[in-house]
Amino acid sequence: MSAKKPPHDPVDEKRLLAALRERKGSAFLDLYDRYQGIIFRFLLHMTGNDTAAEELTQELFVSIFKSFEKDTVLAGFNAERGCLEAYLIGFARNLARRSHSRGQRWAPLVELDLSYQPTLVEEISSRSEVKRLRQAILDLPPAYREVVILCGLEERSYQDVAQILDRPVGTVASRFNRGRMFLAKRLGKSSPGLRPLGRLCAES
């Protein structure tokens, strides 16, 4: 599996949470700057639609901002159950599922206008191959798609993803392996432009 992201800093996270709950003026902006990228990327890959991802990301942070104003900020977050990033991704996951259940249309991207820091998927050289990859990910069932996004594209560990999704580590590993096998079959391991994905799909 690919390299893992560095673990979150619990001391720094505790400091941010304290600032949020003390309603310090810059705290919400700090939260947004730190987590907007991962939330938007996750939603973009889940929906395949940049407008939907932007709207859901905005909905998430507007909800937090309203709770910030009411002095109930992140009332549902429990540090004993996981880190803040895991909580926010879980929040985004629920928003995406709710949006989909309401019948909102998620059309695949036609052109990519990426405004965030590139990750593994942006290392793939050809725009057409990026589109193929995104479509293949969208064709995965949601339960497999979210694991492929977090483990494969965001390079989170099985343990981190199990915490985010509230699933056993073995379930996460199984879904990731099945998902990458599907992608390897759909996209082909020998395509030069898909070498990063080929390693993702082929390695254990």
CATH level 3 topology of 118-204: Arc Repressor Mutant, subunit A (1.10.10)
pLDDT value, residue 120: 53
State the fold for domain 8-109. Rna Polymerase Sigma Factor; Chain: A (1.10.1740)
| Maximum separation of any 2 CA atoms in the chain, in Å | 54
| Residue 121 confidence (pLDDT) | 54
- Burial code (b: 16+ CB inside 10 Å, e: under 16) for 147-175 equals bbbbbbbbbbbbebbbbbbebeeeebbeb
d(Cα 16, Cα 23) in Å, to the nearest integer? 10
List the chain domain ranges: 8-109, 118-204
Q: Distance of CA 94 to CAs 35, 81, 100, 173, Å?
A: 16, 17, 10, 21
Residue 61 has a pLDDT of 92
- Residue 138's nearest CA partner among 125, 149, 154 is 149
pLDDT at 59: 93
Alpha helices by DSSP H, listed for the chain, are 10-21, 27-47, 50-69, 84-101, 127-138, 142-147, 158-165, 169-187, 195-202
Looking at residue 49, its pLDDT comes to 86
Q: Which residue has the tokens 């977090």?
A: 150
Point out the residues of the chain with pLDDT beneath 50.
1-4, 6-7, 105-118, 125, 190-204
Rounded to an integer, what distance in angstroms lies between the CA atom of residue 158 and that of residue 151? 7
